[in-house]
Structure 1
Amino acid sequence: MKTVRDKSGRLLGQVVLVTGASSGLGEQIAYEAARQQAIVILCARRKEKLITIARKCQQLSGQPAFYYELDLIDPQQVDQMLADIRNKISNIDILVNCAGFGLFRDFLAFDLTVAREMFEVNVLGLMHLTQKVALEMAPFGSGQIVMIASQAGKIATMKSSVYSATKAAVISFSNALRLELKPLGITVMTVNPGPIKTAFFDRADETGNYLNTIDKVAIEPDKLAKKIVRSFKTKRREINTPIAMEVANKAYILFPKIGDFLTGNVFNTK
């Protein structure tokens, strides 16, 4: 089942595992990979959504599509899923770590139980799954791991202290892992998007106002998914979008005091 892109650029026969696949960016990545004829494996907590998405993936790809109801913070569930994939489907060629959530709230009012859950999903669950999949990729000398991080991991803003901390951890983890896995033939790509027009903000923004405020710079998930899937099976290091936010990140590094003023005042829209 191991194949490479054919001449038309399709991911024919490649096995792509997508976490957080029941909505938003993860769902769109699954559809785009299916359009490229990948064998898509979806996992998330909402089984009813996964069933519908898997059917659409199968129609788009003409290939089998699979789904697993999964709570990423449960290591036993993760291990059981991977064993089932290995025994019944094939080895994983591409892992897309897209599961995660955020909550915008002042840190002094933040429930640390939720903070722990956020780290368990966004960081620790991601690490456990990544380690297990990379161990299975290593003997083949190939594979790709895609980390969906965030521009919030580069520039922290008010009310995003915990979420930004989790995404900064993902970015640092990815950068170190990239170096460790390169000799094994496994590539690591980090995706750092700005705000995306998805249901993420249904939980993250309790006021319901933030996405409307930044609508002009918010990213359409289907367009970002296309960019990500085009980078499958390449050695691309990062995707940073939108460009304006990446430029702001560079300026923030060079002029941190000005950056603090702008993020704390001019660009404080939460």
Structure 2
Amino acid sequence: MLTRLKELRDLEGKIVLITGASSGVGKLVAFEMATRGATLVLCARHLTELRKVAQKCKELSQHAAYVVQLDVSDSQMIDQQLIHVLRDIGSVDVLVNSAGFGLFEPFVELDMATVEKMFRVNVLGLMYVTQRIAQQMITVKRGQIFNIASVAGKIATPKSTAYSATKFAVVGFSNALRLELKPLGIQVTTVNPGPVETNFFKTADPSGNYFDRIKLLALSPEKVAHQIVNAVGYKRREINAPLYMELIHRGYELFPNFGDQLASSQLFNRK
């Protein structure tokens, strides 16, 4: 059934829906998809920034780029907006779930309302969007879904309790969904980046201290976006970047006690 997946390697005229498209990795994925001729459906809360992204996408692709105001924490808005997209724009070929946020604080000091919001955005919103788009992909027996998780969904560290919990959930959800959708012609690819130099840290770490400590290790968002777009049309289970983080994760699974010591050491615990 996945033989039709190869058709997505040529993105000319294909419809790509991206959540969190107004900034960060989502925005850069949109630009690279556009350079390859895709028609973009750009979703985010902030219309001003989203319109700027759409304008650049149109210039790059010479195709339409649609702006959809979407708060993925609002399930009713998701239903309403995606009904409009599928009816008036067309079937989505590629879905990139990029919307999300984090906050790095000790768990005992976290506002539980913020934790609930994080789960609504990072997990439940992703699941709502995915279900609606996957239902449509099944009807055409083709599609690819990229769920942007994090290395924090594989290796937990202090002060990332809630954020890691959401990303562990995304990894687990994606792994099960991949098995369900594979026989139906749809590929699910999980993206697990380490720290990426984006506006994510303005919310996650307003002090800026954490990013200052790890900025030499931070990934270029352009590189992550390039890896995602290059995986369209291929049976990629996961994209792990940088690769050494995946090697550390495998070592963590083999030697969990040592992994706990390492994750709480100054080497990894820089928050």
Residue 268 of structure 1 aligns with which residue? 269
Residue 111 of structure 1 aligns with which residue? 111
Residue 72 of structure 1 aligns with which residue? 72
Residue 246 of structure 1 aligns with which residue? 246
Cα distance in 1 for partners of 2:34, 2:80 equals 24
Secondary structure of residue in 2 paired with 1:169:
helix
Secondary structure of residue in 1 paired with 2:123:
helix
Tell me how far 1:91 sits from its aligned partner. Answer: 0.5
Residue 141 of structure 2 aligns with which residue? 141
Query: 1:144·1:187 contact (CA, 8 Å) conserved in 2?
Result: yes
- Alignment map for 1:111-130 (pairs within 5 Å): 111-130=111-130
Residue 151 of structure 1 aligns with which residue? 151
- Runs (5+) with no aligned partner, structure 2: none
Tell me how far 1:75 sits from its aligned partner. Answer: 1.5
Cα distance in 2 for partners of 1:154, 1:136 equals 30
Secondary structure of residue in 2 paired with 1:239:
strand
Between 258-267 and 227-236, report the one with greater CA deviation: 258-267
Between 247-256 and 41-50, report the one with greater CA deviation: 247-256
Tell me how far 1:87 sits from its aligned partner. Answer: 2.1
Cα distance in 2 for partners of 1:59, 1:117 equals 35
Residue 202 of structure 1 aligns with which residue? 202
Q: 1:3 to 1:104 in 2, by over 3 A?
A: closer
Cα distance in 1 for partners of 2:82, 2:34 equals 20
- The percent of aligned pairs where both chains have the same amino acid is 51
Corresponding position: 1:188 with 2:188:
yes
- Alignment map for 1:54-93 (pairs within 5 Å): 54-93=54-93
Cα distance in 2 for partners of 1:23, 1:117 equals 19
Query: 2:5·2:186 contact (CA, 8 Å) conserved in 1?
Result: no
Secondary structure of residue in 2 paired with 1:265:
coil
How big is the alpha-carbon RMSD for the aligned residues of Structure 1 and Structure 2?
1.4
Query: 2:5·2:144 contact (CA, 8 Å) conserved in 1?
Result: no
Q: What is the TM-score of this pair, normalised by structure 1?
A: 0.96
- Runs (5+) with no aligned partner, structure 1: none
Q: What is the TM-score of this pair, normalised by structure 2?
A: 0.96
Query: 1:104·1:206 contact (CA, 8 Å) conserved in 2?
Result: no
Between 9-18 and 195-204, report the one with greater CA deviation: 9-18
4+ long deviations beyond 6 Å = none
Cα distance in 2 for partners of 1:194, 1:49 equals 25
Query: 1:4·1:11 contact (CA, 8 Å) conserved in 2?
Result: no
Tell me how far 1:5 sits from its aligned partner. Answer: 5.2
Tell me how far 1:82 sits from its aligned partner. Answer: 1.3
Amino acid corresponding to residue 269 of structure 1 in structure 2: R
Between 9-18 and 138-147, report the one with greater CA deviation: 9-18
Cα distance in 1 for partners of 2:134, 2:227 equals 23
Amino acid corresponding to residue 185 of structure 1 in structure 2: G
Corresponding position: 1:173 with 2:173:
yes
Cα distance in 2 for partners of 1:206, 1:197 equals 14
Amino acid corresponding to residue 268 of structure 1 in structure 2: N
Query: 2:149·2:167 contact (CA, 8 Å) conserved in 1?
Result: yes
Between 162-171 and 229-238, report the one with greater CA deviation: 229-238
Secondary structure of residue in 2 paired with 1:145:
strand
Between 243-252 and 42-51, report the one with greater CA deviation: 243-252
Amino acid corresponding to residue 121 of structure 1 in structure 2: V
**Once the two structures are superposed, what CA deviation does each residue of 1:214-270 show, in whole Å capped at 9, x if it has no partner?**
112111101110110010111111000111211111111111111111111232100
Query: 1:20·1:97 contact (CA, 8 Å) conserved in 2?
Result: yes
Query: 2:99·2:122 contact (CA, 8 Å) conserved in 1?
Result: yes
